[in-house]
Chain A
Amino acid sequence: MTTLDLPPVAASGPAGAPAPAAVDPPRPEKRIRIGGVTRDDVLTVAGAATGSLALDWVLYERVLPFSGAFGFLICWYLLFLAGYYLLGRLQWNPMMVRDRLIAVVAWSSGLLVVGLIADQIGYVGSRGWEAAQHLNFFTESMEHTGPLDPLTSGGALNAIVGSLEQLGLATLFAVPLGIAAAVFMSEVGGRLARPVRTLVEAMTALPSIVAGLFILGVVIITFGFEKSGLAASLALTVMMMPIVTRAAEVVIRLVPGTLREASYALGGSQWRTVWNVVLPTARPGLVTAVVLGMARGVGETSPVLLTSGFTSQFNGSPVDGHQVSLPLYIWNYVKQPYDGMIARGFAAGLTLMGVVLILFVTARVLGGRRPGQLTRAQRRRFDREARRQRAAAAGGVARPYALPPRAER
């Protein structure tokens, strides 16, 4: 149906010269390497690095009256840049040298950041491993553990459960509120949208201790509820909601207006358009918004400090009694003068990082699915159906071009 029947083109003259009768077997194809690093590039960097290290050592250890690792590293870096420039000038033109120099600076900044993160994680990891290697750290609370007990007793189960519950509740409150606020600002709009946006922006800068004070003042002092995981999750909600709102509004605004028009043109109401078109289209971004909010919430210490209360016991219920969370656990034990307690604090820090990592990966897996892609179960069901239809068609029940009238069935 799609083939166009064009009149045959007459063989054109000289342009389409006939191929030579006998051709040599083609040479093996060699793929062109695009970009990549040549040996010269590597050697230039390495040469500049070693040369500057040697010079730095001479300067620092023999000539200059300073010492100290920090200054040594900074001097080494500056000398390295200078050396790289000189080495570059020997081989390349100024334009290219500047280009490479900027590339080297960019690379080294990136490496610096990665290095710092690795250092942080490594430090917490090595200090925390001492306590975290004992499985009881994840299965016991601190209820029966005294200050001088060995690391084989006591753990952070109470804090892990508390953190997860408080974060879960806070997410449950903050995400619908935040997305609803974002939908209001971007889809409904009107005169109220602007003050709401200003308020949300101001709230993102709210010091976290004030969020804690707010819940402490309103929920605990005024209404007289006791300190609990729920109160802490309310304080976390105050922290997380503006972040979710802001990020969600940005991604909702990115949804093309033509899709909304298409939806309205199909007879969709505003509500159904938002629910069926706008939010699904923005889903990957919304997941990022939620993750941003959760990442903010899970590490907050001051709001929970004022609202959850501290306990060394396991408390699975967020609604009655004090409930400790990981940041509070760390804060409490790291400042104690006992080595075992400090080790437990670091182990809790390591656990907190693990929780954050799991959250991020989960969110990526859930939200990263490409739009329109089906879950595996859906795909399997679809394939089954397709096979059945093919079988039916092969059995001679081929469908006519148009469907039979519905009344027939």
Chain B
Amino acid sequence: MTDAPLSSAPPADAPLAGPSPADPVADTITLPPVAPAPYADPRHPQGHPGGGSLAGLETRDVSAWFGTRKVLERVSLAMPAGGVTALIGPSGCGKSTYLRILNRMHEMVRGAALAGEVLLDGDDVYRPGRRPAEVRRRIGMVFQRPNPFPAMSIQDNVASGLKLAGIKVSKEERRDLVETSLRRAGLWDEVSTRLHTPGGALSGGQQQRLCIARSLAVSPDILLMDEPCSALDPTSTRRVEETIAELRGRLTIVIVTHNMQQAQRVSQSCAFFLATHDTPGRIVEAGPTEQIFGSPRDQRTSDYVNGRFG
């Protein structure tokens, strides 16, 4: 154990050798801003919570450890507000770990530690005194395997975030919220007549869209998706991609995918992660999606996106 901070909370004096956060960090890749959002969330004309104004996400020098093993090395990346950022890379290179650092799920793993800064709207989510639950409500997450709550009906699943976050709403608001969220997730037409049936009775693809609706119901600023389609059939995958396309501009999406075509279809910016057996995962190249896929600067990126390794 040489350089791993022991606590899961970020040490106040994190071993940030090198540039201080105030400096323009040398290898932060700043992505071009995305075209202005076509329409903002109508329910929140402005301000927080649940930001009608789009919030971006940026990490500076994020490293991560499991026990003494370092799995991420100084990852700096800016994920533009309102855009879709795809994280690609061979498995085991730390994409999921990185994603879980963004919404403070990483610290729930025993023995996990991290360093660096994660800025949501310019404010560090690991700032001492910030409650993880509040951060997670603003940064939603969709998992690889659909995981609707089996003890709840479809509508209760969608509204579960309110209950879990302790938000009180009237019955009408709740019903409207269920409908809006399901519509946004592209599931309303399929389930509107059986909202009270168990969420577990849906097909895999529908369950995943239900999970998306559930995340959207708490109006997050950011939505993280960890290989959301890897357990789905092609048709369901297409539906989820359509959903992502519709959500674009309403909130910031970060998606991990192993499917190069999918990354190209859904994302505007892209980051390529790579780890080798003895070096922790790091970003090899990041930039606009067309550039990563069209004219990558790094040989390894070019090999990966063209399917020559990984």
Query: Which residue numbers of A lie inside 8 Å of B, CB to CB?
Result: 1-2, 4, 256, 258-259, 261-269, 272-273, 276-277, 280-281, 283, 370-374, 378-379, 382, 386, 399, 401-407
Query: What DSSP secondary structure best describes chain B's contact surface?
Result: helix
Task: Give, as a whole number of angstroms, the nearest-CB distance from B255 to chain A.
Answer: 15
Q: Report which of A272, A370, A403 forms a contact with B164, defined as CB distance below 8 A.
A: A272
Q: Across the interface, do B136 and A266 meet the contact criterion of CB distance under 8 Å? A: yes
B198 at interface, CB cutoff 8 A: yes
Q: Across the interface, do B140 and A265 meet the contact criterion of CB distance under 8 Å? A: yes
- Contacting residues, chain B, for A399 (C-beta < 8 A): 179
A197 to B201, CA, bound (A): 36
Q: List 16 A-B contacts (CB under 8 A).
A: A259-B147, A263-B160, A263-B164, A264-B133, A264-B136, A266-B215, A269-B133, A283-B151, A371-B151, A371-B152, A371-B198, A372-B152, A404-B42, A405-B43, A406-B42, A407-B45
- Contacting residues, chain A, for B160 (C-beta < 8 A): 263, 266, 276-277
Which of A371, A399, A407 has the most chain B CB atoms closer than 10 A to its own CB? Answer: A371
Given contacts A266-B165, A267-B164, A403 and B105 within 8 Å (CB-CB) = no
- Contacting residues, chain B, for A258 (C-beta < 8 A): 143, 145, 147
8 further contact pairs, Cβ within 8 A, besides A261-B143, A372-B198: A259-B147, A267-B137, A277-B149, A370-B198, A372-B152, A372-B153, A382-B196, A404-B42
A22 to B199, CA, bound (A): 48
- Contacting residues, chain A, for B103 (C-beta < 8 A): 265
Task: Give, as a whole number of angstroms, the nearest-CB distance from B1 to chain A.
Answer: 21
Can you name the residue of chain A whose Cβ is closest to the Cβ of B201? A372
Given contacts A259-B149, A265-B105, A373-B198, A403 and B180 within 8 Å (CB-CB) = yes
Q: Report which of B43, B165, B235, B239 forms a contact with A403, defined as CB distance below 8 A.
A: B43
Given contacts A267-B164, A273-B164, A262 and B153 within 8 Å (CB-CB) = no
Can you name the residue of chain B whose Cβ is closest to the Cβ of A379? B196
Can you name the residue of chain A whose Cβ is closest to the Cβ of B198? A372
Per the CB 8 Å criterion, the residue count for chain B at the interface is 51
B193 at interface, CB cutoff 8 A: yes
B141 at interface, CB cutoff 8 A: yes
Number of A-B contacts (CB under 8 A): 126
Q: Report which of B43, B140, B156, B214 forms a contact with A406, defined as CB distance below 8 A.
A: B43
Task: Give, as a whole number of angstroms, the nearest-CB distance from B138 to chain A.
Answer: 8
Q: Across the interface, do A267 and B165 meet the contact criterion of CB distance under 8 Å? A: yes
User: Which parts of B184-217 form the interface with A (CB within 8 Å)?
Assistant: 184, 186, 189, 193, 195-201, 211, 214-215
Can you name the residue of chain A whose Cβ is closest to the Cβ of B135? A267
A386 to B196, CA, bound (A): 11
Q: Across the interface, do B43 and A262 meet the contact criterion of CB distance under 8 Å? A: no
B253 at interface, CB cutoff 8 A: no
User: Which parts of B106-157 form the interface with A (CB within 8 Å)?
Assistant: 108, 132-134, 136-138, 140-141, 143, 145, 147, 149-153, 156
- Contacting residues, chain A, for B136 (C-beta < 8 A): 264-267
B218 at interface, CB cutoff 8 A: yes
Given contacts A266-B218, A283-B151, A371 and B200 within 8 Å (CB-CB) = yes
4 closest A-B pairs by beta carbon, nearest first, are A267-B137, A372-B198, A268-B164, A371-B151
Can you name the residue of chain A whose Cβ is closest to the Cβ of B153? A372
B258 at interface, CB cutoff 8 A: no
Can you name the residue of chain A whose Cβ is closest to the Cβ of B145? A258
A402 to B150, CA, bound (A): 28
- Contacting residues, chain B, for A1 (C-beta < 8 A): 186, 189
Which of B105, B150, B235 has the most chain A CB atoms closer than 10 A to its own CB? Answer: B150
A272 to B189, CA, bound (A): 31
A2 to B243, CA, bound (A): 12
Can you name the residue of chain A whose Cβ is closest to the Cβ of B166? A272
A272 to B165, CA, bound (A): 8
- Contacting residues, chain B, for A263 (C-beta < 8 A): 149, 160, 164
A265 to B222, CA, bound (A): 12
Q: Report which of A4, A264, A374, A404 forms a contact with B153, defined as CB distance below 8 A.
A: A374
Q: Across the interface, do A280 and B152 meet the contact criterion of CB distance under 8 Å? A: yes
- Contacting residues, chain A, for B143 (C-beta < 8 A): 258, 261-262, 265
Can you name the residue of chain A whose Cβ is closest to the Cβ of B42? A405
Q: Report which of B138, B147, B150, B218 forms a contact with A372, defined as CB distance below 8 A.
A: B150
A405 to B52, CA, bound (A): 12
Given contacts A256-B147, A264-B136, A372 and B199 within 8 Å (CB-CB) = yes
B183 at interface, CB cutoff 8 A: yes
Q: Across the interface, do A276 and B200 meet the contact criterion of CB distance under 8 Å? A: no
Can you name the residue of chain A whose Cβ is closest to the Cβ of B211? A262
B90 at interface, CB cutoff 8 A: no
B163 at interface, CB cutoff 8 A: yes
Task: Give, as a whole number of angstroms, the nearest-CB distance from B65 to chain A.
Answer: 20
